[in-house]
């Protein structure tokens, strides 16, 4: 199994990286970019086949460690 | 008084912290992060740097070091803990201080001297700072923008947990004097119990006039004063 975790800054948190990338895209001539949010992507390879157990475990890990709930949101996918 | 200064892989200014304490006539020793006992520590300093290369998030890995379990216990027992720069980040990641430190709003690493206004003298980290005195101390960080949600921020203000704020040379809390975009110009805070504090600036690098400022001493003198007061009360 493989887990994919996408971590993004919370909406209320200042994201200067996202803003800078957005400005750069505009400078390059790409139109219609409303907002950019720069985050992190983690790919985790897992043993076993129990998706539910893996989900439970990784939700806990994402909350406690992989993301910082004060400033970040995360999305977990298992395939 | 015995200070213990932690050392993680890629800590910095740890030697400065030891020196800053020793020139005040007290004892300080370095403690490697793999140690699980603080020994005879009366206070702990978590120094600056880039512990574990800032992997994942600043301070996110350091909080799992064996020594940090001892620091948590020490703090729970009321021991004095001061986190400087990366040490502040480690203490927020460890849950010993509220909020988080994020990327400076201009994305630049700031290495300069700034002015700090002390928001309250009612803490073991600020009691010896004369009223109205601005501290001239250096900062050196890329991720020092203090962030907390509104509820946490309200609680910090209500309990007078904001200890230091960035200001200009005359003590005004302006946007221009805020080097990193921190909410309410916050440079340092303490926990509700007031025994754990963190700040992004480096008081240990401003302990002698030769270094351009000795204002940082006042933070350590406050900790020493708090320790003396505790001893006097216990006697």
Separation of alpha carbons B216 and B204, rounded Å = 6
Q: Does A24 touch chain B (CB under 8 A)?
A: no
Number of domains making up chain A: 1
Print the domain residue range for B70: 2-234
Contact A16 B106 (CB under 8 A): yes
Give burial (CB, 10 Å; 0-12/13-18/19+) of B134: middle
Task: Please say if the pLDDT value at position A12 is more than 90.
Answer: no
- Write the ipTM: 0.84
* Residues B128-167: tens digit of each pLDDT: 999 999 999 999 999 999 999 999 999 999 999 999 999 9
Domain count for chain B, please give it: 1
Token representation of residue B5: 């200064």
Torsion of CA B34, B38, B39, B43, to 10 degrees: 150
Contact assessment for residue B173 and residue B164, using Cβ atoms and an 8 Å cutoff: no
**pLDDT number for residue B234:** 87
Q: Using a CB-CB distance cutoff of 8 angstroms, which residues of chain B are in contact with residue A17? A: 103, 107
CATH (domain of A58): 3.30.1280.10
pLDDT category of residue B98 using cuts at 50, 70 and 90: very high
CATH of the domain at B180: 3.40.50.880
Active centre residues of B (catalytic): 85, 202, 204
CA-wise closest residue to B44 among B163, B198, B188: B198
Q: Is pTM beyond 0.90 here?
A: yes
B100 touches chain A (CB under 8 A): yes
Q: Which residue out of B54, B103, B198 would a mutagenesis test of the A interface target, given it has the greatest number of A Cβ atoms within 10 Å?
A: B103
Answer yes or no: is pLDDT of B68 > 90: yes
Give the mean pLDDT of chain B: 97
Q: Which residues of chain B make contact with A12, given a CB cutoff of 8 A?
A: 149
What would the two tokens of residue B92 be? Answer: 């927020």
- Interface check for B54 against chain A (CB to CB < 8 A): the answer is no
Q: B99 — contact with chain A (CB < 8 Å)?
A: yes
CB count in 10 Å sphere of residue B113: 15
Question: If you measure CA to CA, which chain B residue comes closest to A13?
Answer: B147
Taking the C-alpha atoms of residue B48 and residue B60, their distance in angstroms, rounded to an integer, is 14
Q: Give the pLDDT confidence score for residue B5 in this predicted structure.
A: 98
pLDDT of residue A14: 86
Asked if B103 and A17 come within 8 Å (Cβ–Cβ), the reply is yes
Expressed as residue numbers, the domain containing A58 is 2-78
Confidence of residue A30 (pLDDT cuts 50, 70, 90): very high
Size of interface A-B (CB pairs under 8 A): 34
Q: How far apart are CA B51 and CA B60, in angstroms?
A: 9
**d(C-alpha B11, C-alpha B31), whole Å:** 11
In the sheet with B80-84, reading across from the earlier edge strand, the strands are B27-32, B2-7, B43-46, B80-84, B196-199, B186-190, B162-167, B110-118, B135-141
Question: Using CB atoms within 10 A of its CB, is residue B222 exposed (0-12), middle (13-18) or buried (19+)?
Answer: buried
């Amino acid at each position: 199994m493989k887990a994919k975790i996408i971590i993004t800054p919370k909406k209320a948190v200042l994201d200067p990286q996202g803003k800078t990338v957005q400005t750069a895209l505009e400078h390059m001539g790409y139109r219609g970019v409303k907002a950019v949010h720069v985050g992190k992507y983690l790919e985790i390879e897992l043993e076993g086949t129990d998706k539910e157990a893996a989900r439970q475990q990784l939700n806990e890990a994402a909350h406690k460690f992989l993301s910082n709930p004060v400033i970040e949101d995360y999305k977990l996918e298992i395939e | 008084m015995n200070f213990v200064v932690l050392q993680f892989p890629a800590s910095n200014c740890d030697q400065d912290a030891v020196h800053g304490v020793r020139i005040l006539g007290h004892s300080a020793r370095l403690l490697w992060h793999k140690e699980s006992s603080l020994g005879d520590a009366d206070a702990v300093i978590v120094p600056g740097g880039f512990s574990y290369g800032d992997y994942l998030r600043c301070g996110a890995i350091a909080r799992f070091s064996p020594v940090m379990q001892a620091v948590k216990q020490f703090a729970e027992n009321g021991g004095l803990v001061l986190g400087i720069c990366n040490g502040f980040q480690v203490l927020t990641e460890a849950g010993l201080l509220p909020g988080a430190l994020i990327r400076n709003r201009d994305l630049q690493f700031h290495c300069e001297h700034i002015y700090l206004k002390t928001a309250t003298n009612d803490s073991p980290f600020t009691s010896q700072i004369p009223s109205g005195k601005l501290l001239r101390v250096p900062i050196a960080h890329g991720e020092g923008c203090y962030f907390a949600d509104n509820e946490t921020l309200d609680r910090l203000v209500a309990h007078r947990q904001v200890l230091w704020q960035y200001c200009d040379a005359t003590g005004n809390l302006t946007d221009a004097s805020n080097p990193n975009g921190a909410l309410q110009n916050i440079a340092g805070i303490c926990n509700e119990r007031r025994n754990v504090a963190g700040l992004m600036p480096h008081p240990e690098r401003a302990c002698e006039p030769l270094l351009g400022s000795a204002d940082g001493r006042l933070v350590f003198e406050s900790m020493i004063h708090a320790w003396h007061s505790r001893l006097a009360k216990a006697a």
